């Protein structure tokens, strides 16, 4: 992004120090003092353990002569550095992202949901590839800092921008929506992730529907059909266009709810939509549902279903990853977990040939619902008749899961990922399939180097 003095003065008033012509470009926005280059515009952010203002003295040495700073730090700005004073530099950073977003001519797609938002983001990125270069969120850049970072990375040469929006509490997605002004908003589902912070599915639905806060008036919301809570929450705040999608064979929707606008059917690893067969790039019915959300977005942006037949999707480690370790097939889902994602992963495991084993770790941020939701997950594992289950949890959730899955022939409860290697070494044989899934804080990937080579 290239800033002009006049643009920033319109936002924050007259700058302090220095004298620059209004038409002079101020350079790339940067928040990391370690990555500053000559001509950059510095935005020092403040976190729980850091304060970028401490590096203001380095600006002249790095060739940086313009910045925005929080009030109270103006006296720390080196002489000659042009700067603006604001109440909150994070808000200023998001304002810069919006300023840049409005200068771009391509559509912006925003994605949120309780589960599957990263996968859906990647499916949308792949589906939009026929349009040209697609800029999209990377890794965990789905929060107050990561979203503006991604927006600012997009260039006029891109054909589309895909933004993932996460949240830890009410109001966050609304802020993210306001710094993006999406053309299309996708809500993958309303589940129980973060219920410990928000207290109920109704509060989660309200938080996810904040994605419409700055959705373009002629924009589109894409949602799964048949969720009464999502429908009622969305209707209360959004009166614009909605596209509802569904897989044939899913439970019938309530006849009082709007029907699906786009229906796909799954057969022989293909998703058939609009009479066109699309290879399923990722395994599992849950990913087929994510794919039809992406198809709807592509359709809205002018692509035909036939143009999606050569989609190529690349997922980061710990998500939708299958690999062979000797004679063992590993389904690596170690990156994160919610109850809905756990159920989907277990159903995928149950569809695999041969003997099926799972290592399941704790799900975090479930609050007062935690014990019951962990019980349900373990009960589902027992219902599916897995050949073995290792529960990784040092607390009460682990005890509850062990009790709920007590009908399984092979069952172990351990405190750490590394300890799961011992029962697995006794149980596993060539030809078996092993699922690893748990929340990020459990770090189940620590088990991977210790898996037996069969």
Q: Is residue 241 part of a domain?
A: yes
Residues 389 and 422 in one domain: yes
Domain, as residue range, for 63: 5-87
pLDDT at 5 over 70: yes
Q: Is residue 425 part of a domain?
A: yes
Residues 163 and 253 in one domain: yes
Integer Cα distance of 89 and 170 in angstroms? 21
Residues 209 and 234 in one domain: yes
Residue with tokens 């008036």: 217
Integer Cα distance of 209 and 186 in angstroms? 10
Per residue in 138-160, pLDDT (tens digit) is 988 999 999 999 999 999 999 99
Write down the pTM of the prediction: 0.90
Integer Cα distance of 260 and 241 in angstroms? 13
Split into its structural domains, the chain has a count of 3
| Domain CATH code at residue 184 | 3.40.1190.10
Decide which of 280, 308, 336 is a domain's last residue. 308
Residues 64 and 154 in one domain: no
Mean pLDDT along residues 53-67 = 93
Q: Is residue 325 part of a domain?
A: yes
Per residue in 212-268, pLDDT (tens digit) is 999 999 999 999 999 999 999 999 999 999 999 999 988 766 788 999 999 999 988
* pLDDT at 197 (0 to 100): 85
Q: Is residue 315 part of a domain?
A: no
Residues 183 and 299 in one domain: yes
Per residue in 61-103, pLDDT (tens digit) is 999 989 999 998 988 999 889 999 999 999 999 999 999 999 9
Integer Cα distance of 270 and 379 in angstroms? 30
Residues 290 and 353 in one domain: no
Phi, psi (5° rounding) for residue 191?
A: -120, -145
pLDDT at 379 over 80: yes
Residues 140 and 211 in one domain: yes
Q: Contact 199/367 with Cβ under 8 angstroms? A: yes
* pLDDT at 449 (0 to 100): 92
| Domain CATH code at residue 396 | 3.90.190.20
- The size of the chain, in residues, is 454
pLDDT confidence bin for 24, thresholds 50/70/90? low
Per residue in 414-433, pLDDT (tens digit) is 999 999 999 999 999 999 99
Residues 152 and 188 in one domain: yes
Residues 31 and 168 in one domain: no
Residues 337 and 431 in one domain: yes
Q: For the chain, what percent of residues have pLDDT higher than 70?
A: 97
């Amino acid at each position: 992004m290239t800033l002009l003095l006049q643009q920033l003065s319109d936002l924050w008033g007259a700058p302090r120090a220095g004298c620059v012509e209004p038409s002079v470009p101020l350079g790339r926005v940067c928040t990391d003092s370690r990555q500053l280059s000559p001509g950059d515009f510095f935005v020092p952010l403040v976190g729980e353990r850091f304060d970028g203002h401490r590096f203001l003295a380095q600006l002249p040495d790095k060739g940086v002569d313009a910045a925005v700073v929080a009030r109270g730090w103006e006296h720390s700005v080196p002489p000659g550095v042009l700067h603006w004073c604001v109440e909150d530099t994070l808000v200023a950073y998001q304002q810069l992202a919006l300023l840049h977003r409005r200068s771009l001519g391509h559509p912006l797609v925003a994605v949120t949901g309780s589960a599957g938002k990263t996968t859906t983001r990647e499916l949308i990125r792949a589906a939009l590839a026929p349009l040209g270069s697609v800029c999209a969120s990377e890794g965990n850049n789905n929060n107050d800092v990561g979203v503006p970072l991604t927006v600012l990375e997009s260039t006029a040469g891109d054909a589309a921008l895909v933004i993932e929006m996460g949240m830890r509490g009410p109001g966050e997605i609304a802020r993210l929506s306001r710094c993006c002004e999406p053309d299309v908003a996708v809500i993958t589902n309303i589940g129980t992730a973060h219920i410990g912070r928000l207290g109920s599915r109704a509060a989660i639905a309200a938080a996810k529907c904040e994605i419409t806060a700055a959705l373009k008036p002629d924009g589109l919301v894409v949602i799964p059909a048949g969720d009464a809570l999502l429908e009622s929450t969305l209707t209360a705040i959004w009166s614009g266009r909605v596209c509802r999608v569904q897989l044939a064979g899913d439970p019938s929707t309530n006849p009082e709810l709007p029907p699906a606008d786009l229906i796909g059917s799954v057969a022989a690893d293909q998703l058939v939509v609009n009479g066109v067969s699309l290879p399923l790039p990722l395994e599992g019915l849950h990913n087929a549902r994510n794919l039809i959300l992406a198809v709807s977005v592509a359709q809205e942006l002018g692509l035909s279903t036939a143009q999606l037949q050569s989609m190529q999707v690349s997922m980061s480690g710990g998500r939708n990853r299958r690999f062979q370790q000797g004679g063992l097939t590993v389904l690596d889902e170690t990156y994160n977990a919610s109850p809905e994602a756990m159920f989907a992963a277990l159903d995928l495991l149950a569809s695999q040939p041969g003997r099926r084993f799972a290592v399941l770790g704790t799900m975090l941020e479930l609050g007062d619902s935690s014990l019951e939701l962990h019980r349900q997950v373990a009960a589902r594992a027992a219902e599916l008749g897995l050949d073995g289950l290792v529960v990784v949890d040092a607390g009460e959730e682990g005890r509850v899961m062990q009790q709920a899955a007590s009908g399984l022939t092979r069952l172990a409860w351990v405190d750490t990922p590394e300890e799961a290697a011992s029962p697995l070494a006794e149980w596993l044989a060539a030809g078996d399939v092993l699922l690893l899934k748990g929340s990020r804080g459990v770090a189940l990937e620590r088990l991977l180097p210790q898996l037996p080579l069969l």
